[in-house]
Amino acid sequence: MKLVDISIPIRDAMAVYRGNPPVRLRPFKTLRKDGVDVSELCLGSHTGTHVDAPNHFIKGAIGIDRVDLARFIGPAWVADLRRVRGGIGAADLDRARIPRGTRRILLRTSNSRLWHPARAFTTDFVYLATDGADWMVDRGVQLVGIDYLSIEGFGVEGAPTHHRLLGSGIPILEGLDLFNLRAGRWQLAALPLRITDGDAGLTRAVLWTS
Amino acid sequence: MKLVDISIPIRDAMAVYRGNPPVRLRPFKTLRKDGVDVSELCLGSHTGTHVDAPNHFIKGAIGIDRVDLARFIGPAWVADLRRVRGGIGAADLDRARIPRGTRRILLRTSNSRLWHPARAFTTDFVYLATDGADWMVDRGVQLVGIDYLSIEGFGVEGAPTHHRLLGSGIPILEGLDLFNLRAGRWQLAALPLRITDGDAGLTRAVLWTS
């Protein structure tokens, strides 16, 4: 089983979504002084590769610890949307040859280039448009992933894509690196940290072929 | 596929290993004020359910981001060691009916009761003794897990169990909750966060039967 790491490395001062807490990693104990290396991390819940929980945008909705784990492991489809600029709409998804019945969809866009090399946060990324989110809901998709720090267009008023997906109980896997990845069927594991009532959970996301 | 969560919940002020950083979770943005919930987490790298990397104790060894991912997903054996007090030795492991060739071993001890209900950090937990660690190395085990915050006996001088396992490149999965879990063969996923040169990675650990 050959595993492909589709997670973003977590490091001090890495790029985060605008307005989110900065990432600070510091040595807390060191081999030289203490005989052991232990670090302290301070970071936002939506840092790097992470899963948005319904309560991120929906009042009274469940936190990341209560989302069914089965959504995060199993067959997934990597859809090639590299030619889309701006918002991915329903028509783009119709053309993307995603098999009916697909439960987990990862959107491979031109965003993945932004990780190679890693650079400062940019607002000009490809996102899932409102009618693209409706498409996911209508298809009964269980998990949607994308290769930048938000699935929402930057500055889109009211966060309609998040509201539609999370309001339908669909967690969102953000901050993926799908660079150079073959489109098509894969097996996915992207289990978020079990943070009590958390609005998101960081995750180590991997793909493999079975 | 029925998934069993063997991770400890992460929450504010949860129990941590003595001398480790406290866990602080706080709202950074809120639905009421900002229209979105975002949290900030400050915590130690060895909080809750996590994987120790070789560089935790071994100078110049690899960090968590460079450990082969294949160690963290696949068949695992849950060994029933509930009757052991103190250190689990080679003789205990010999008696535990662990099949030869087992690559991932999770030690189910009386520790798991310490999570039900969760309580303050205790120093009186069951651990893997030095000759138990040698047993793992000799058997070619790829991953060892245990159901408390350290695999080392509290106060054991020189951390010999960590040195033997990590010195042989065997990552250690700590902070598992194996309460009420059937001993025997399972499938495991326990992929640690991809922290660049990290001495550990928090993880969401799950089991299932295939």
B206, pLDDT greater than 90: yes
Cβ distance of A45 and B39 shorter than 8 Å: yes
Mean of the pLDDT values across residues A5-11? 98
* Domains, chain B: 3-7+47-208 (3.50.30.50)
Report pLDDT digits (tens) over A56-98.
999 999 999 999 999 999 999 999 999 999 999 999 999 999 9
- Answer yes or no: do B35 and A189 touch at CB < 8 A: no
List b or e across A166-185, with b for residues whose CB sees 16 or more CB atoms inside 10 angstroms.
bebebbbbbbbbbeebebee
Is pLDDT at A210 greater than 90 in this prediction?
no
Interface test with A, best of B4, B173, B194 (most A CBs within 10 A): B194
What is the longest distance spanned by two Cα atoms in chain B?
Answer: 59
Distance CA A77, CA A104 (A): 6
Contact A198 B10 (CB under 8 A): yes
Selecting from A7, A28, A195 the residue whose C-beta is nearest the C-beta of B194 gives: A7
Contact B194 A55 (CB under 8 A): no
Closest chain A residue to B54, measured at CA:
A37
CA distance B14 to chain A (A): 11
Tens of pLDDT, residue by residue over B140-166, are 999 999 999 999 999 999 999 999 999
Confidence of residue B210 (pLDDT cuts 50, 70, 90): confident
Please state, rounded to an integer, the average pLDDT across all residues of chain B.
Answer: 97
Nearest CB to A38 within list B8, B11, B20:
B20
Structure confidence by residue, pLDDT tens digits, A94-143: 999 999 999 999 999 999 999 999 999 999 999 999 999 999 999 999 99
Q: Looking at beta carbons, which residues of chain B come within 8 Å of A200?
A: 38-39
Cβ contact, residue pair B204, A194, below 8 Å? yes
Q: Nearest CA of chain B to the CA of A180: how many Å? A: 19
pLDDT surpassing 90 at residue A1? no
Identify all chain B residues contacting A1, using CB atoms and an 8 Å cutoff: 70, 73-74
Q: Which two tokens stand for residue A107?
A: 């959107």
In terms of Cα–Cα distance, which of B62, B40, B18, B23 is closest to B152?
B18
Place A46 in a pLDDT band, splitting at 50, 70 and 90.
very high
Nearest CB to A21: which of B28, B200, B202?
Answer: B28
The 3 state secondary structure assigned to chain B is CCEEECCCCECCCCCCCCCCCCCEEEEEECHHHHCCCEEEEEEECCCCCEEECHHHCCCCCCCHHHCCHHHHEEEEEEEECCCCCCEECHHHHHCCCCCCCCCEEEEECHHHHHECCECCCCCCCCEECHHHHHHHHHHCCCEEEECCCCCCCCCCCCCHHHHHHHHCCCCEEECCCCCCCCCEEEEEECCCCCECCCCEEECCCEEECC
pLDDT digits over B51-106, tens only? Answer: 999 999 999 999 999 999 999 999 999 999 999 999 999 999 999 999 999 999 99
| Closest Cα in chain B to A39 | B45
Is B46 annotated in the active site?
A: no
- B138 min Cα distance to partner chain A (Å): 24
CA pair distance B190, B208, nearest whole angstrom? 12
A189-207 confidence digits (pLDDT tens) = 999 999 999 999 999 999 9
- Token pair, residue A80, equals 């090639």
Give this prediction's pTM: 0.97
Answer yes or no: do A1 and B73 touch at CB < 8 A. yes
Report the pLDDT averaged over residues B117-133: 97
In chain A, % of residues over pLDDT 90? 99
Alpha-carbon distance of A98 to A76, in angstroms, equals: 10
For the residues B193-201, what does the mean pLDDT come to? 98
pLDDT at B1: 79
Write out chain A residues lying below 8 Å of B38, CB-based: 20-21, 44-46, 56, 199-200
Q: Do A204 and B194 touch (CB under 8 A)?
A: yes
Average the pLDDT over B23-27 and give the result: 98
Q: What is the per-residue pLDDT for B105?
A: 98
Q: Which residues of B touch A10 (CB under 8 A)?
A: 193-196, 198
CA–CA distance, A28 with A16 (Å, rounded to integer):
23
| Cβ–Cβ pairs < 8 A, chains A and B | 166
Task: Given the residues B56, B116, B162, B163, select the one marked as catalytic.
Answer: B56
